Structure 1
Amino acid sequence: MITNSHKIDIIHAQGLNAGAIGVVLKAIFKKRLIVSLHAVYKQIGKSKLTSRATRLIFNNAEIVLGMSKAVINQFAQLETGKSNLEKYRYWIDVNKFKPMDQEEARNKIGVKNCFTVLFVGRLIQIKGVKLLIDIARELEYIQFIFIGAGPMKNTLQKFSKELPNVYFLGQAENSKMAVYYNSADIFCIPSLYEEGLGGVAMESIACCTPVVGSNQ
């Protein structure tokens, strides 16, 4: 960004942590700042420090975008002195994400033609990855496909070798995601925290694959 700052008009920060960095970059490079919020933050409002930091981000942003009613309701309670909080939605390319033959999809990615549960996301504890592995251990007749990257990558690689019904396929190109959604009978979001309305859920629905999420 230092060498190409003259080509940049807007800084778009995804989340509060990135928003804090965005405030610093805005001050240095004199650019406009937009912040997108994807989830509910449990720590907000629990301390004066986090509340002040959040207000600082809001007051420095041109606009703050919340992707669900839960996000909007949480941050609307903060007295930021600036009414710049707006709701937005993900959009889905229905020409790319659409139904296809399930058996054909499974053949393309090299998995068995049996009942399949799919997980796509960051491989971290709060996403419920370990919970889904424990379920896979109990349901040997169902295959579980994990796609993503993160700190639990090695754990998944280990279990994919130990459990014959667990497939860890690493990261996948977005252009190929429709095949993975169509290979599954269920797309699972087992998060252990309150999620926003994720784009992956909408992509799965566009492929006519049902979504099952945790009650968080």
Structure 2
Amino acid sequence: MRILFVMDSFVPDTLGGAERVVLGWARELASRRHEVWVLAGRVNVPPGRDEEMEGFRVRRWSSRRRTFADGYISAIRACTAAGRKLLDEHPPDVIHGCQGLSGYGLSLAKPRAPWVYTLFAPWSEELAEEARIQGAGLSAFARTFNNLGVRLKRFRVRRMERRVLRGATATALSEFSRRMLQSEHGIRRAQVGIVPAGTDLDRFFYTSDVERQALRRQLNFREPVILCVRRLSPRVGLDLLIQALARIRNVVTDARLILAGRGPERAALERLARQQGLTDAVTFAGFVPEDQLPDYYQAADLFVLPMRSLEGFGMAAVESLACGTPVVGTPDGPTPEILRPLDEDMLAEGTSVDAIAQACIRWLAKPEEMLAVRRRCRDYAEQNYSWKKAGLALEALYERVTASARR
């Protein structure tokens, strides 16, 4: 079967959750002898030739801009043109759209193949959430204009998403995402299938206690270490985690927080750490290369996901579990679906600073229990989040979709 994934961007240009999931899907399906293509965008970089990547091929489209100011027109045109050419040269049996802008662009090329569309996060709601956070510091007058601009953007991008969904088989990564599709686009829950994501169980692997202690010495992890791997943006709740650390240290006095990632909120988070008297207890590790991420997961005592909203799937949490490191998460988004079947105590009781702190203390104050649960974390990841399991589910979905299109 020839399968075409459609993305706004892709690795190595972007290493977000959607890109990592599609990379895993494409790699697994290619290993199962399917012909897999990824059509992906980039900005201000020549598209270049088709790329061979781990058994599948990538074709890039490029635009000078990708902004609302021109209605995303230049990006849409570039995607449509590249997509039309790829459809002519290598007509797919099934198209799997994963992001709204590129999905809309390819839909204008009027492909004949049946569509699957997976909602990773609702584009229009992401815009609204970012605007809400940005508008908090504006005057009432400025906030009015900010909100007007957001409403225009949401109207535009919602129309694009709905065009892609029209006639497509709608899917989601979690029950939470399925509910978002229903509320955002009016698609009934029963019409939305769940497609599983996974993680690379060979790269994110379990280590013995001896190997783990060696890694801790190498990374200078002497104290109990809380790790969070996130983009430093307003909506992911890192400010709550820093404030929670101050309360955690009232009980676990030498606890330390490692924040791995880049983003626009770094200066504000550093300022918050100083205000909380945590300058020496919070380390901003910046971007951690992909080949070093497993070391951080394996060496940490606890991984924390203080999610506020709009997350389709908690990839970092699953990577941590695969390395044997327990996870504490807030009861928002898909996190309860990941953690509750493993251990109810991994879920904080709420999203407040105090709830996050208490959940972390439950684990950090009992290091013997944390060591005992490590093997269970790994086993759970193997049973539920392998790419093989995801590949089998996608194959079955594509067979149903293509068979239905032939009837």
Q: Same fold (TM over 0.5)?
A: yes
- In structure 2, relative to structure 1, the CA distance for the partners of 1:174 and 1:213 (3 Å cut) is same
2-structure distance, mates of 1:190, 1:55? 30
Residue number in structure 2 paired with 1:135: 244
Structure 1 163/198 Cα, relative in aligned 2: closer, same or farther at 3 Å?
same
Which position in structure 2 is the counterpart of 1:86? 193
Deviation larger for 203-212 or 133-142:
133-142
Contact residue 160 and residue 168 of structure 1 kept, 8 A: no
5+ residue gaps, structure 1 = none
Aligned to 1:38: 120
The structure carrying a bigger helix percent of its residues is: 2
Q: Alpha-carbon deviation of 1:153?
A: 2.3
Query: Which digits, 9 at most, give the CA deviation of each residue in 1:75-121, with x for residues without a partner?
Result: 2464459x97331121222221112233222233x333221111011
Partner of 1:67: 173
Amino acid paired to 2:203: K
**1:24 paired residue number:** 105
Distance in 1 between residues matched to 2:256 and 2:125, nearest whole Å: 36
Cα distance in structure 2, aligned partners of 1:84 and 1:98: 36
Describe the SS at the equivalent of 2:259.
strand
1:174-211 deviations in whole A, cap 9, x for unaligned? 22211111111111010112533311111111111111
Is 1:38–1:71's contact at 8 Å kept on the other side of the alignment?
A: yes
Q: Which amino acid aligns with 1:120?
A: V
2:237 matches 1:155: no
* Residue range with higher mean Cα deviation, 91-100 or 69-78: 69-78
Report if aligned partners of 1:65, 1:88 keep a CA contact under 8 Å in 2: yes
Q: Is the 8 A contact 2:104 2:161 kept in 1?
A: no
Q: Give the alignment partner of residue 206 of structure 1, picking from 322, 328, 333.
A: 322
Cα distance change, pair 63–188 in 1 and its aligned pair in 2 (3 A) = same
- The 2-side partners of 1:21 and 1:38 are apart by 14
- Asked if structure 2 preserves the Cα contact closer than 8 Å seen for 1:20 and 1:57, the reply is no
Q: 1:215 aligns with which of 302, 319, 331?
A: 331
Question: Judging changes above 3 Å, is the alpha-carbon distance between structure 1 residues 184 and 52 closer, same or farther for their aligned structure 2 residues?
Answer: same
Unaligned ranges ≥5, structure 2: 1-60, 62-77, 127-150, 333-407
How far apart in 2 are the matches of 1:192 and 1:183? 26
Name the TM-score, length of structure 1 as normaliser.
0.76
Deviation of 1:28 after TM superposition, in Å, equals 4.9
1:68/1:91 Cα in 2 relative to 1: closer, same or farther (>3 Å)?
A: same
Q: Which has the higher contact order (CA 8 A, sep 6+)?
A: 1
Once residues 121 and 178 of structure 1 are traced to their aligned partners in structure 2, the CA distance between those partners, rounded to angstroms, is 14
Tell me how far apart the structure 2 counterparts of residues 84 and 176 of structure 1 sit (CA, whole Å). Answer: 40
Aligned-partner residue type, residue 19 of structure 1: G
TM-score (norm 2): 0.43
Matches within 5 A, 1:142-181: 142-157=255-270, 163-181=279-297
Q: In structure 2, what is the equivalent of residue 106 of structure 1?
A: 216
Q: Which has the larger radius of gyration?
A: 2
Q: Secondary structure at 1:150's aligned position in 2?
A: coil
Call closer, same or farther: CA 1:52–1:141 in 2, change over 3 Å.
Answer: same
Once the 2 structures are TM-superposed, how far is the Cα of residue 136 of structure 1 from its aligned partner?
2.5
- Is the Cα–Cα contact under 8 Å of residues 123 and 158 in structure 2 kept in the other structure? no
In 2, are the aligned partners of 1:120 and 1:147 still within 8 Å (CA)? Answer: yes
Over 3 Å counting, the alpha-carbon distance change for 1:185 and 1:169 in structure 2 is same
Tell me the residue number matched to 1:57. 164
How many residue pairs are counted as aligned between the two chains? 208
